[in-house]
Each structure stands twice: as structure tokens, then as C-alpha cells.
Structure 1
Amino acid sequence: MPLLHIAVHTPAHSAISAASELLSYRSEQLLPRGSLVRVPLGKREVLGVVWGEDTDYAGEASALKSVAAVLEGIAALPESWLRLVQFAARYYQRSLGEMAITALPPALRDLTTEQLTRRLKRKSQVQPESTTADTALALNPEQAAVCAQISTNEGPFLLFGSTGSGKTEVYLHQAAQLLQRDPTAQVLVMVPEINLTPQLEARFQARFTTQLGQGSVVSMHSGMTPPQRLKSWLAAHTGQARIVLGTRMAVFASMPQLQLIIVDEEHDPSYKQQEGARYSARDLAIWRGHDLGAKVILGSATPSLESWWASRPAGTAGPQDGGGRYLRLVMPSRIGAAGIGAAGIGAAGIGATGAVATGSAAGAMPRLRMVDMRQQPRRTVFSEALLQAITERVERGEQALILLNRRGFAPVLFCGDCGWKSDCPHCSAHQVFHKNDRTLRCHHCGYTQRVPHACPSCGNPDILPLGKGTEQLEEELERLLRNVQRPDGDPARIARIDADTTRAKGALEEKLAHMHAGDVDVLVGTQMVAKGHDFRRVTLVAAVQPDGALMSSDFRAPERLFSLLLQAAGRAGRDAAYVAAQGSKVEMWLQTLQPDHAVYQALRRWDYAGFAAQQLAERRDAAMPPFAHQAIIRADARTQEVAQGFLRAAAAAAASQPLPGADDVFVYPPIPLAVQRVANIERAQMLIESPSRKALQQFLRAWQPTLHWLRSHPEHKALVRWLVDVDPQAI
């Protein structure tokens, strides 16, 4: 009877996962690698992936448990998928079984073989139709030049295109060319957030479904039900789906004929998983493309500094610099856009209103107007100049977009008499005041309570909100614009999009539909509205309080703020014909207390390249990524002493033994996280840094057994969990 190595999801950091990445089972038949099976694990029956035959088992074979069932209706997973999972597990320091099983659709883990057979039988009744793709796409000279470069080079490619420059059309063109050339090829298109998937899916459906047939374009994201995700996964696995669109989870889709990978908005931190196996879908897409010989296109108007550096031209860092491993492709012009901006920004002028206007007659980005809030009355939410600009848009039938990346009415309630604040009893964070339902809500643990009628500490009835959130902006605009009328005589209509207003199924789609239809005059929102949306009537975008992001301790904060503001600015003036017919100006407003900050100075010129050069110079001097490589060991416990004690013991153990790569690795002392307590769990972290990725990987791999041993030691029994985060996106 054959013995098989099978990958199963063992409990995290358990004795089983620490001892072996694969478990051995008996089988009545020798199954090919990649076969899906159900096997006993303890008292449960779980999903497993056959990794190969066990020819070295030294024990008594009869003592091994047997494979319970084989999922015969599903073909074995391809070798390329097994290689991807194995690399991801090794690089991100997770067990092979955990990575393999979590990469599969959840429904596969629970279905019996009989249930799966019935589902496959229903699915087999739907057949795709014809096979020819239409490639007659009208490309402008910039798009045509980029497509020619992609066709004649291996890549990977960084498509650096201004917001509204037509990057999506390049994606469509490349997919169409490939699918016409190869009738079996598959394309993976990734987006950072769920709310961007339906609109991109609609464009791909419209372009390809008629030619390729129903079921040829599918989606994969966490907003789908388990049966929907399984259906999409099976369509990709069997080759029926020619195009898969999805969020970060889609990077693990089983696609045997994958030949093109597109990562849209590649800079977005959402591509990094923040729970469980903390992989970067963008980086895995690059690895997968290299492994398969597939072309990879990373697209962004504000690339991550890591990708920007990886696409640098030869000689950037000196005569001996051979350049980056990506090929940078540039599309600086916006299609059908109107406005003032990018090239040749002129001198700034400060008027009596306190607004700063910059711009030139050429270019495509909006005119930037900066308001120095130090010159405004205290507690001003909207400066007079900005309010007047919004009013003019409403009266002409245009739309305005107001950005504040903080939901709720106010971040905290405060008592001026005794200093009480609305702190969460379970987290080291404030409870946010939500005025609409009169609640205090912790955005970390979810704890909610009613707003007190008076200060719980001293009884003062005058407790006040501090700071501003999107609820407050919406309420303030409704008050300030109550007498402003649209061209049809109706009062101005204000709407809000954030995580609170889009909880219900279909709520986001409904609100976006109202915006696209022109039923909304002013849209207030968080970063959810700042990227990817094609609002044709928006001629004004305003960032009301962007300064908060500059106070972060994370060295990536300036990069992310610049990206957010430039992406938001790109929502304005996307329809040149409409703007010309209106005779309007396209503007981006910034209300700030720090108008001289380097981020805003770069924005005044819409100069991403200059901003990136300045940031990279700082990071090189500080030996920060991309000039160094990092990992974080995090420990969670009931007390901060226990959490930091585990990390100190781990560091001491590493220092006491000659671990590979240790000479090139620096281990920092443990510290609490910025929000150190969440849901009554104390959190601490320890940063590990190295100029060599190889040395860091060797060190972490050799350190793993020590970390497992420490976790099982009685001294650390009170530890709740520990984890390794390779290439962390926040420190």
C-alpha cells in the first residue's frame, strides 16, 4: 500500500507543524502530486494536498492512518501551483500545509466527495461559447508605444501612467492580443479592493464575453459567497475561465495556462495580507510570472518606492548601476481629461482668501489650490474660498468630492472639566463618536456603547467631540449648502461613502450609481472614493484634513499620503468634453496647517518622480527599504511583560547560537505596537533588519525551531500567539 506525503492545515505553531511540514498517510492507490484528498487529523477529517510519495518512512506503515477519500472530480493541481505555494510558505515563514489549504477556496474544505460530485455535475451543464477575441482597440500614441514595448520585451513591466491615462485600455489590449494568439491562454487581473472589482469586471465582460462565451470572465474576492468562489475557482482550474479578476487572494488561483498577470494600483497596501500568512500578492505575482515565463504588468500613477527603484534606468545610482529588474513604461497624458497641471508648474500666488493657486496652461492634472489653515479662524471646517468653490460647482450642475480618511463624527469625546476621554475599555485607543446612531464605537475591537448623557467621571453634561470625521463633514455641508440650488432648482444633495454607509450588501454599488447618474452634488468619503472610480462630472476634489497622516511613526506615511492625494486628484476632470461645455475649472484643494511640507511641495508640481527621488535618498541614508530588508516578530499576550519577555528570550536564544546569516542581521529590542492593546490582548513587536534578503531568510528559517521551542516552554505559557511578518508594510 503506497505511503503519501500530504499537506494539511495543522494548528498554527503546534507541535505537529513544528515537527514536519508534511504528514504521511497510507493510500489504496498511488495518487499524482497535487491531488486533493480528505484525511483524518485528530478527531477531524480535513482537506489535504498530495505532495508526493513517502519513500523514506522508517516506522511501521500499519500505524499510519489512511486517506479517507479522493476528490476525483477535480484534476490534480498543476506543478506550477505547487511551486508557488512552496515558495510562499518558505519565504513568508509559514507551514506548507497552512499556505496550501488557505490558498484553496473555503468550500473545498467542507464539501464531502458526494456533495462535490453533485456540484460538478451541475456545473458541467454550462458550456462556453465561441473562442475569438476582438482586438480592434483604438489606442493613442502613448498606449500604442507601451503595448509595443510589452510585446517585444520580457518584463516585468512597471506601467507608470497618470490617473486617467488609459492604463485599463492597455490591460484590455494586451489580454485581447494574447487570447487571440493562444486559444488556451489565461489572464490574471488583480485589483487591491473589492469595490473596484465589479467595475473592472464589467469592462472585461463587455469586451470579451461575446467572443469567448459565458463563464470566460470570473471574479475572486472575499465579498463572494463560498459557492460563488468555488465556482470561479473551478472555472479557472479547468481552463474554462480565460480571465480571472480578483483581489489579493486571486494570486493563488489555479490557472494551468496562465500567461499574463496584471496588477492594477500595484502600490496599494491592500495587496499585503494582514492576518494569518502575511504574504504580498504583488510580490508573489512577480515570482509567479518569472516561474511560468508569463508577462507581468504592474500599473500605477503612484508606484510603490520599491517598484520605482526596481524599475530605475541604468546609471541611476552611479556609473556601475545596471538599472532595475523591471522595465519602466510611461504614459504621462490623461485621456479625455481637462485641467491644469503636470508639466511646467508655474509660481504660486497667495490671495486675500489665503488660498494658494498653482498651475500652468499645459498638462492634465487639476489646478492645485492650497489653503493655509493657520490663517483661518479656529474650528473652521471649510474655508470661505473652498466653500465658495463648492457652491459654484453645485449651481452649475457639477460634482465635488471631499476627502477625509476618518469615518465617524469625531475621533473622541472629551470632558473639558476633568479630562475624561471616550477610551475603549478593551483597547489602548479611543472610541469613535458616531452621531447618526448616538454610539461610541471602537474601530479596533468593535466594542460599542451608547453615548453618555454626561461625563461618566465628573457628571459634566458638556462633553464635546474633538476632531472631525466624515459624518461631521456631511452634516456641516448640509448646513452650509442648505440654501444652494442645483440648476433644476432642487437643493444641493450630499452623500457619504465610507465603511459605515456601505455595510449592507449592494449599498456601495447603489451609492456609486447615484454618483454616476448625477443625483449627488457633493460626495464625502474616505479613501474608498479616492481611487479607481471614473466620476465624469467631478471638477473639484478637496482634502480637508490630510495632515494627520504626517504624524504617523511609520516611515511609509509620506509615500502613502502623496499617493492618496494624487489618486484623489485624479478623480477630477476626467471628461474634457463635459468640462469644456461647462466652461469650468478643474481644481484640487488642500486645507493644511503645514503648507511647506515636502509632500505638499511635491504635489504642487504633481511631481511623483521628484518626490520619489527625495524619499529614496532619505531611505538610502537611513538604510530603510528598498535598501534594506525587514521582518517583524510579533507576540500577543495578556500582559505586555509576557509578550516582550518572549521576544527578549527569542533574541537572546538567537544571539547564543551561530545561526546562518546572523552576521548580516540586526535584531532590535522589543517594543509595544502603536496600539499596544486590542481586545484585552497586549501586543509587542521586534524588528529584524538586514541589507541582504538572503541572509535575512536564512536567519529566519534557522530561528523557527527556537521560536517553536520557546512557545512550548512553561515560562511562556501565558503567551497567546506569535507570528513572523516578512516585508512588513507598517512598523
Structure 2
Amino acid sequence: MATDGEQAVILRMAVPVPLRRLFDYLPPDGLDPARLAPGQRLWVPFGNRKLVAVLVEVLAESPQAELKPALELIDAAPLFDGRSRAFLQWAADYYQAPLGELYAAALPVALRKGKPADHWAEQWLQLTTEGKGLPESALARAPKQQALLQLLLEQGRQSRTSLKERGHSAGSVRALLERGLAEWLAGPTVPPPIPAAEPGAPPQLNAEQQQVLEAVPGEGFSASLLEGTTGSGKTEVYLRLMQRALDRGQQALLLVPEIGLTPQTLRRIAARFPRHSIAALHSGLADGERAQAWLAAAAGQADIVIGTRSAILTPLPRPGVVLVDEEHDASFKQQDGVRYSARDLAVVLARNAGIPVLLGSATPSLESLHNALSGRYQHLRLRQRAGDARPPQIHVVPTLGQPLEEGFAPQVLRHIGETLARGEQVLVFINRRGFAPALTCDDCGWLADCPHCSSKLTLHRRQRHLRCHHCDYRRPLVDSCPQCHSRSLSALGGGTERSEELLARRFADFPVIRVDRDTTASKQALDRLLAPARDGEPCLLLGTQMLAKGHHLPRVTLVVIQDADGGLFSADFRAPERTGQLLEQVAGRAGRGELAGRVLVQSRFPEHPLLQLLLEKGYGAFARQLLRERATAQLPPLRAMALVRAECEEPRWAEEFLEQARAHLQALAPPSPELEYLGPVPALLERKSGRFRFYLQVTAVRRAQLQPLLARLCQWAEGHRNRRLRWAVDMDAQELS
């Protein structure tokens, strides 16, 4: 500790451990405390481990008597500014998450492992105020200096690497420096440019798009829901809002469900903003690439940040607008670790920064729609398709009692053939990958079960193995029943592989392009697979929900939905909502160009009232009916809900933990019409990866009722001594599985 007369310096650190508290340390031995500031990373000892922690606060005293010194300072300057630290603290409090784990989730892997930020530092040449005030032809008598000046005027600061690649000599750079027209600035390396589409003039906005653009305020916080039918030009609205922020010298953040599904959007943004740096943040990048992009965004070097869920946690020093595309998508909710919702945090980030946020979707989530209908969000609409495109015609094909060929009705196969013969494209949607979802013995009834999960093994015939799609357990394909040794084995149901075999056989003159997790495992695989379709060649696209979002394929005139009934009878109350969203999104792939589109929906229950409502009156009426049903049942979004989850190899211990948790909660706040408890009950997928899973459901009229209650529960639960049991609080839970 400090000697007499010296002011003690205490470092309060967020350490990445599952404890909801901060830890105090002394500065590293021999380090000048003046070099320390909140937001920096340091190596700290924790038990017998060495961890990367983030400095949250510098204090003069600590309640702890014995403090260890931190080991080493990693960053010369803070990675997290004051606004981002306050934002992460708010998220930790709301989601009842350890702050150290939230900082770890915010950092890319390379930085999480302690790689110094200056590993990617580079020198940048930028114009001084005097240089920016010069006309473009000011150095016409020195052509090389003139070319360099023009580059900096048109495209902004340039790295040493970029100047060398462009052929600008050290002499030209030195001349601008000596004239006081340019200066060097240290900063992170900007990620390599994203391949751009062919640049062109921005399209003319239609009246609806113009009204939406004018309705979003240019400054100050506002939250808006943009409900726009598929193909209505939502992306163009995003681009105009980005431009507005860039013109003010601010950054634009665009969140997308899966970056790999939106290559066209990335190319379009790169073509629209060639003078601006774009940072892409997603799991498909190498660790170094992602760290570069993150540092460029956090330093303000990247003007546009496009990313998946975790991008919402990236510090932005000059935010101007936040955009969330396909805001209904379930992938915006983290399902393990810190269980945050990127969509909901986008609204909090915009509120804290005093900027607009726009949530866009053709099929809004019931949460966002409820907020719009109740006046919390501004409700904006795009009802007409952009250009000459018209909404597709939708027809239901009853399949109950019909002879099906590998899941396809005869008239559906006929329509596919006729469409291909006209030189057009067909999209077939099947939300099951593999050859078949189950393998059974016809003689004794044996089913190929996963030994670790409450699920069947999916047959992948091409790879000749059985695979669990929950834990990824695999075993070789068997030729005989392991129970009775019969060779009468049957594949039950159909998946993308099985349908691919049939369609390739029936339509041998046309390419069949299968798009699922198995065919798009490698980087850029999806882009390569879809290249023939973008070129306009007649082909048959077959795939899972990866095909439902983010693709503009104007030659697709027929969409076939093989099975529309999947989520209509699920035990999960959210399943009908997701089914409606998926069907509407898939149907929206048809007729996006000049050619008319048609959708064929196969169903065993064509008279189901929700399916009829969706197909006859559209998603808007369908979603409003679901909201009425949720109100009657007192379910989200009409009530706030949190799940307390527990999992263990011994199911009895998980149930006992949740029973004790319920008793603890009820002692703090007894059940009432405003606060209800349900459980413990088994998760819909009761066993996963060898662990039995249960949850306790807590619902309240207001979220403010839940927060202090859950915080007290976490304090109690952290004292639980069974190390073989895992528990978590899932605020605003989206999955019951």
C-alpha cells in the first residue's frame, strides 16, 4: 500500500469471471500511476491464472486489506471511452451479467487474449486545416504533389501502406509536410476494402421512401420501426440515413443478422461510399482481421461499421445513426454467456448518444410492433415494392392424402419444370438440412437417437454419417439395425440433400444449387454458390432459411415452400410468430424484378386459421392477431419475462436448485397478479450435450419489478457450491428450448 504522505492508487478492474463484482488491484510494480486511465486493459493475477481485465475506475482507497498488484499495462491509451463504459455497465445491470464477461464479449478474440492494440498501429497522412482549404489545382506546377493533394482531398487520410501501393513517392509526401499542408497521425490499420458493386447514381426515391427519410429526425434521439414489405427499398433508406450521418462527420452502425448472408448489401454500401472506410465485424473473419476492424471503429477511423450481434458492443467515438436490418431475427439475441439482445441494446445506445435508431423489417417482431403501436417507437411503413416489381401471387397446395414424391406434390413439380423451361429461376425452401431428420428400423422400431441430447440423429447420406445438429455428435452410417440386426432401415422425412437428389434427377438440364450450413462452411462459399443465380441463368435454388434473407435475385419467379406447418403446433409460444416471419420472408424472394412472381405453399393443414390469416391478409394482420392472443395469455411483449436456467448432468440437482431459487424469490416478492412464477419445468430440448436443462419462468407487468428481484437472486445463487451445476439469468428470453 502507499507509504506515509503518499496518495494510494487503487485500480478497480472488470475481470472476465462469472462473478457479479469488480476486483481491486494495486498498479503494476514500477509503473507511473499517471499512465493509467479507465478503459485500458491490464494483465492481472486471479487465483493461479493470469487474465486480461479492463480498468473501470481509479480510486484512492479500497475496502480490501490485502491487494495484489496488477502485472502489466497492455494499452497506452484506453480502448473504451466513457460513453461505451457507461453503456456496458447499463447492459450488465439490465441483463444481470458479470461486467468482466461483458467487456470480454465486447472485445475481439485477439484483444481478449491480450494482444497489444499497437500491434496493428500505422502512420496516416492527413491534410492540415491549411491543406484542406486549398483548391484542387493549387499545386498544378508540381504534378506529383498535386496528385497526392487531390487524393487526400477526395479520399481523406491515407496510410503509409496505401501511399506506397498507389505509387506516391516519399519526396511528394515530404514536400506537403514541409509546406505545412499535411501531417502524420498514428492510428490503427484500416481493414482492407470490401469489393464494391459497379458504382452508379443513387436511385430516385419513391414517395413512401421520401416520407420515411423525412420522418427520421436528423439529430437527437428517436426510435423508429420501419415496416417495409420485401423488395420495398429499405436498404436505400438505410443508405440515405448513413449519408446524412457521414455528411456531419459521424459514424454509421448497421447491424445485420448474419454478415455472410448479405454480400450484396456490403458491395452496395462500398460502391455508394467509396471515399469512406468500412469496418465489417463478424465471426467469419480471422482474429487479426476482426481486431483491425474493431480498433478502426473504436478509434473513429472507420466511418461505417457493419456487423452482426456483437458489433453493438463496439465503442464508437462519434456515432451518428444506428440501423438494425431484419430486426425480428432471433440471431440478434445471444443464447449463451451474456444473454443480451443486440436489437434492444441498439435503442439504448442511440438514446445514450442522442442519435436516431431505425429498426427495419418486412416482418417486425411482436416486441417492436407493440412498441410502435403503443407510441414508444415511431411507426413508419413502406407498402409498395421498389421499381416495377409487384407482390407475388400466393397459392396453397394441400398435401394431406396426396401422393408425394420425396415431399413434393405432383402439381408443384410440374410448375417447377414450366418455370425453368421459360428460362426463369425457382427457389425451393426446406428448413431441414441433411438427407432425413431420422433413421428407423422397419422391423423393431429402433430410432437413431443422440446419446447426449433429447433428439434424433440426422442422416447425412453424402458424408455417410449420422449427426446431431444440437451437439454435433457424429457416428458412421449403419447398414443394419444395432438392436435387431435387420437391414430394413428407412429414412424418415426429408431434408435438403434428399430433395436435391430428386430435383437433380427430375430437372437434369438445369443446375440445382443447394444452400445450407453444409455447403457454405467455407469463407465466401455462399457468394460463389449464388453467382450463377445472380447472372440470371435458369437454375433451381434449394435451401434452408439462409436463402430467406438478404438476397435480391430478380430472375426468381417461383418460390416453393415445401412444408408450412412446422411451427404452428409447437409448445413454444413464439413458434407461430417465427413461422409467419419465415414464410413471409421466403415468399418475398419471388418476383423482385420485372417478372411476376408466384409462391406455392404446401400444407397438410391448409385450413389452419393462422395460416389462412397470413396468406389472405398478410403479416400485419397476422402479427396483430398474435398480439391479441399474447394479451389474453399475459405473455411477452405484454408482460416482461425472465428465465432462470439451470443445467446439470444430474437432473435432480438442477431441479432442486430452481426450486430453492423459486422459494428465495417468493420470500422476497410473493406471487401476485403483477408477478407470477412458473416452474421449474424441463426445457423443450431437455437434454443437450449430456446435461439436463430446466428453467424457472418469472413474469411481471413491468420490467422495473424484475430487476431488483433478479439482482438479489444472483447474489444468492453465486453462493451455490455445486460446481457441476450451471445457472444463468435470461432477461427477455427468446427461447424455451
- TM-score (norm: length of structure 1): 0.86
Matching residue of 2:439: 413
Q: Contact (CA 8 Å) 1:5, 1:24: kept in 2 or not? A: yes
The answer to whether residue 527 in structure 2 is matched with residue 525 in structure 1 is no
The letter of the residue matching 1:405 is N
Q: How does 1:397-412 map to 2 (within 5 A)?
A: 397-412=423-438
- Structure 2 residue 17 is matched with structure 1 residue 11: yes
Q: Is the 8 A contact 1:337 1:573 kept in 2?
A: no
Per the alignment, residue 536 of structure 1 pairs with: 554
Q: Say which SS state the counterpart of residue 446 (structure 1) adopts.
A: coil
1:629 aligns with 2:649: no
1:424 deviates by 1.1
Is 2:87 the partner of 1:87? Answer: no
Query: Which structure 2 residues correspond to residues 195-214 of structure 1 after superposition, within 5 A?
Result: 195-209=260-274, 211-212=275-276
Aligned to 2:734: 729
Q: Structure 1, unaligned stretches of length 5 or more?
A: 313-322, 339-363, 483-490, 580-584
Distance 1:170 1:449 in 2: 49
**Does residue 259 in structure 1 map to residue 320 in structure 2?**
yes
The separation in 2 between residues aligned to 1:258 and 1:152, in whole angstroms, is 13
Percent identity reads 38
- Contact 1:407–1:526 (CA under 8 A) maintained in structure 2: yes
Distance (Å, rounded) in 1 between the aligned partners of 2:563 and 2:725: 38
Distance 1:5 1:628 in 2: 40
The residue identity in structure 2 corresponding to 1:198 is P
Cα separation, partners in 2 of 1:619 and 1:131, compared to 1, 3 Å: farther
Q: 2:215 matched to 1:149?
A: yes
* Aligned ranges 1:691-710 → 2 under 5 Å: 691-709=701-719
CA distance in 2, matches of 1:136, 1:374: 49
Match of 1:243 among 304, 310, 321: 304
1:383 has 2:392 as partner: no
CA displacement 1:337-378 (0-9 Å, x = unmatched): 53xxxxxxxxxxxxxxxxxxxxxxxxx321011111125126
Aligned position for 1:296: 357
**Contact 2:552/2:592 (8 A) holds in 1:** yes
2:210 matched to 1:159?
no
Alignment of 1:282-681 (within 5 A): 282-312=343-373, 323-338=374-389, 364-377=390-403, 381-482=407-508, 491-519=509-537, 521-576=539-594, 579=595, 585-655=596-666, 657-658=667-668, 664-681=674-691
- In structure 2, how many angstroms separate the alpha carbons of the residues matched to 1:510 and 1:242? 28
Are the aligned partners of 1:402 and 1:525 in contact in 2 as well (CA < 8 Å)?
yes
1:71-128 superposed Cα distances (whole Å, 9 cap, x missing partner): 3444452111011100111111111111112211221132454xx434314x758999
Match of 1:29 in 2: 33
Q: Secondary structure at the match of 1:682?
A: strand
Give the whole-Å Cα distance in 2 for the aligned partners of 1:111 and 1:658: 42
**Alpha-carbon deviation of 1:194?**
2.5
The alpha carbon displacement at 1:26 in A equals: 3.0
* Match status 1:191 vs 2:256: yes
Amino acid at match of 1:3: V
3-state DSSP of counterpart to 1:26: coil
Q: Secondary structure at the match of 1:549?
A: coil
Q: Extract unaligned runs of 5+ from structure 2.
A: 3-7, 128-150, 157-199
CA gap of 1:663–1:593, structure 2 versus 1, over 3 A, is: closer
Name the CA distance, whole Å, in 2 between partners of 1:589 and 1:163.
17
Q: CA deviation at 1:653?
A: 2.5
Q: Residue 688 of structure 1 aligns to which amino acid in structure 2? A: V
- Kindly indicate whether the alpha-carbon contact (under 8 Å) linking 1:493 and 1:519 is maintained by their aligned counterparts in 2: no
Instruction: Give the whole-Å Cα distance in 2 for the aligned partners of 1:68 and 1:573.
Output: 61
> Structure 1 residues 118, 668: CA separation in 2 closer, same or farther (over 3 Å shift)?
closer
1:135 Cα deviation from its structure 2 partner: 9.6
Structure 1 residues 47 and 469: CA distance shift in structure 2, 3 A: same
Contact 1:197/1:246 (8 A) holds in 2: no
How do 1:223-238 residues align onto structure 2 when only pairs under 5 Å count?
A: 223-238=284-299
1:520 to 1:684, Cα distance in 2 relative to 1, 3 A: farther
Shift of 1:231: 0.5
Q: State the alpha-carbon separation in 2 of the partners of residues 58 and 702 from structure 1.
A: 22
Distance, in Å, in 2 between the alignment partners of 1:660 and 1:50 is 39
2:208 maps to amino acid: E
Deviation at 1:464, TM superposition (A): 0.3
**Partner residue of 1:354?**
none
Shift of 1:628: 0.6
Pairing partner for 2:70 from 46, 62, 67: 67
Shift of 1:129: 4.6
The number of residues matched between the two structures is 659
Scaled by the length of structure 2, what TM-score is found?
0.86
Note the C-alpha offset of 1:144. 0.8
What is the rounded CA distance, in whole Å, between the counterparts of 1:281 and 1:6 in structure 2?
Answer: 27
Q: Residues 410 and 69 of structure 1: is their aligned pair in 2 closer, same or farther, counting only changes over 3 Å?
A: same
Counterpart residue identity of residue 93, structure 2: R
The letter for the 2-side match of 1:6 is R
SS in 1 for 2:664: helix
- The answer to whether 1:41 aligns with 2:72 is no
SS of alignment partner, residue 694 of structure 2: strand
Aligned to 1:117: 118
Cα deviation 1:309-349 (Å, max 9, x = unaligned): 1011xxxxxxxxxx3210011110001353xxxxxxxxxxx
Pair 1:220-2:221 in alignment: no
Query: Post-superposition shift, 1:662?
Result: 8.3
- Measured against aligned partners, the alpha-carbon deviations of 1:461-499 in whole angstroms (never above 9, x if no partner) come to 1110111111111111122223xxxxxxxx121110001
Structure-2 residue corresponding to 1:57: 62
Q: 1:282 to 1:468 in 2, by over 3 A?
A: same
SS at match of 1:694: helix
Contact 1:426 1:677 in 2 (8 A): yes
1:204 CA drift (Å): 1.2
User: 1:46 deviation in Å?
Assistant: 2.3
Matched, 1:105 2:108: yes
Once the two structures are superposed, residues 26-71 of structure 1 have per-residue CA deviations (whole angstroms, 9 ceiling, x without a partner) of 35414222223232223333222221122341444xx422233333
For residue 351 of structure 1, what is the aligned residue in structure 2?
A: none
Contact kept? 1:660, 1:702, Cα under 8 Å? no
Question: Could you tell me how far 1:519 is from its partner in structure 2?
Answer: 4.5
- Measure the CA separation in 2 of the matches of 1:563 and 1:261: 23
Change (3 A) 1:197 1:540: closer
1:145 offset after TM fit, Å? 1.0
CA apart distance, 1:634: 1.1
Looking at structure 2, the residues matched to 469 and 109 of structure 1 have their Cα atoms a distance apart, in angstroms, of 39
- The alpha-carbon deviation at position 379 of structure 1 amounts to 6.0
